[in-house]
Amino acid sequence: MIADDEPMALSLIESYVLKTPFLELKAKCNSAIEAMQVCEDEKDIDLFFLDIQMPELSGLEFSKLLPATSKVIFTTAFDQYAIDGYKVSALDYLLKPFDYNEFLNAAQKARNYFETVPAAEQKTEKKQNFIFVKSEYRQVKIEFSEVLYIEGLKDYVKIYLKDNPKPVLTLMSLKKLEEELPSDDFMRVHRSYIIALSKIEAIERNHIVIGNQQIVIAPNYKKTLMDYIEGKSL
């Protein structure tokens, strides 16, 4: 992905990407906000060419929201940002204006990284621990570790978070959200509920207790849940 608020810079980097055989352009964005929205649908972007100074959200700030497997090459006209770039583990730093040879050298660093990092390490890094959801005209970051349970309401879902008195309401189906959640950490227990397995405090008859909430276990989900519980029991 390329993100740059300067149209000429965006077009130039796009032309460089398109003539580099080992790169595939997934998206080009005029801002980090747009890039963040694209990342909701495009989960397999490995490399980002990010301008540092962009309105609303800088390239540096955006890079800190990316999963560990996504690597960044910063592009900017201001060399004082170089040190900041490396603080967020950037693979390289291109000072504008840069030519294709400089671009290619930076891209080759990225290629070498992805070819030399052990596959097992990449797989471990690949596990994402958060998502962004749209709520009240904002993109809200949801840390999986903070989720207690999720309730489906027709075309909306309510995400209940630890230490947050109000749930996050977002326009999305429960099925769609279920596909985005790590199956090792979350389980559907009812057509209207997904629970965070680590947040279960007790199971009483046909209910799961999480904090002050009792969540009904639907008959068609009960066996899967009880098999999980049995595997964790002494």
49-87: pLDDT as tens digits:
999 989 888 898 888 888 777 899 999 887 665 555 556
The H or E element that residue 112 is part of is helix 100-116
Q: By three-state DSSP, how is residue 58 classified?
A: coil
Token pair 């769609």 in the structure block, residue: 176
Give Cα 190 distance to the centre of its chain. Answer: 26
Burial grade of 143 (CB within 10 A; 0-12, 13-18, 19 or more): exposed
Whether the pLDDT of residue 132 is over 60: the answer is yes
Q: By three-state DSSP, how is residue 223 classified?
A: helix
Percentage of the residues of the chain whose pLDDT score is greater than 70: 91
- Residue 76 carries which DSSP code? E
Using pLDDT thresholds of 50, 70 and 90, give the confidence band for residue 166: very high
Q: Which of 55-59, 167-171, 191-195, 212-216 has the lowest mean pLDDT?
A: 55-59
Structure-block tokens of residue 33: 């906000």
Strand order, beta sheet including 71-76: 28-29, 2-3, 47-51, 71-76, 92-95
170 forms bridges with which residues in the sheet?
Answer: 157
**pTM (two decimals):** 0.53
